[in-house]
Chain A
Amino acid sequence: MKVRVYVSLKPGVLDPQGRAVHHALEGLGFAGVDDVRVGRFIEMDVADDTTDEALDDMCRKLLANMVIENYRIEKLETA
């Protein structure tokens, strides 16, 4: 089973990286971009019987820093 984990900064946490990217987009002439947040995308191949609980555990214990980040898990069932 393929699992995609999206890690993003919590709302309200300043994202200097996102701000720099935002600034660069403006510099390129793209108008109407209100805000940019930069996150992290992690793709894993895991055993099909991996539980949701185990995936949450992986995120909380290592993949995301719960002080500043949120995570979202997307499972791609392989038929």
Chain B
Amino acid sequence: MAFRGAVITFPGSNCDRDMAVALEKVSGEPAIRVWHGDADLPEGVDFIAIPGGFSYGDYLRCGAIASRSPIMRAVIAAAGRGVPVLGVCNGFQVLTESELLPGALMRNAQLTFTCRTVPLTVENSQSLFTAGYEAGQTINIPVAHHDGNYFADTQTLDRLEGEGRVAFRYADEVNGSQRSIAGILNQAGNVLGMMPHPERAIEPELGGSDGRALFESAIKGLVDS
């Protein structure tokens, strides 16, 4: 089965090309580019990536307007059918605003835009996206965000932890996130949102390749299924 990955572009997305390159390099198949105003996803898409950037200029709230765009109705429907959806950085914000993932991303506690490579702890190595890692493993992935401070109420946080839905945690303090959460899964395990950028760490030439296993896991999981 040939892998058909799609990358959504909103006005203001700026990591969409990096995401498309990462999908192509790892899968060997060209990524399909999808515009935010489209009402439908291309036929047979089996992986959807929502990239980083500043969709709609981050007006109102980060990811809020993008989450109500025409294409997101199709993405939400696809996620409901079990199609894997990966949201990175602004993509994570779009996923929480869409209510595909719980919680919200607030302004970084220290108020500064943080752009550096940070260590993450892999918390869950059983998901489609994280099967290529070992639980407890530390990986180094770049972050670049102003609003990555994950917030959810205590009950939601307890549920995420109890259900093994915390995929990645910051090994060091980065942005004030509740329980140092860097990435979470939905209940079905087919939607992952994370602030760090795995697509910026897929080969040594980029300064690191710890993000590659995420794409490899997801693509292998799909092609094998």
Contacts and interface: CB of A to CB of B under 8 A. Distances in A.
Given A14-B176, A16-B176, A62-B60, A67 B152 contact: yes
B107 A65 contact: no
B64 A65 contact: yes
Interface stretch (B5-13, B96-104, B187-195): B96-104
Interface string B96-119: 110000111011111100000000
Interface in B144-158: 149, 151-152
Q: Report, as a range, how many residues of chain B touch the other chain.
A: 20 to 34
B108 A16 contact: yes
A68 interface: yes
B68 interface: yes
B60 A63 contact: yes
B184 to A, nearest CB: 13
Given A67-B151, A67-B152, A17 B107 contact: yes
B220 interface: no
A13 B60 contact: no
Nearest to B103: A67
B64 A62 contact: yes
B108 A67 contact: no
Contact of B109 (A16, A63, A65, A67): A16
Nearest to A67: B104
A67 B111 CA distance: 20
Given A14-B176, A68-B106, 7 more contacts: A16-B111, A16-B149, A62-B60, A62-B64, A65-B64, A67-B103, A67-B152
A32 B71 CA distance: 49
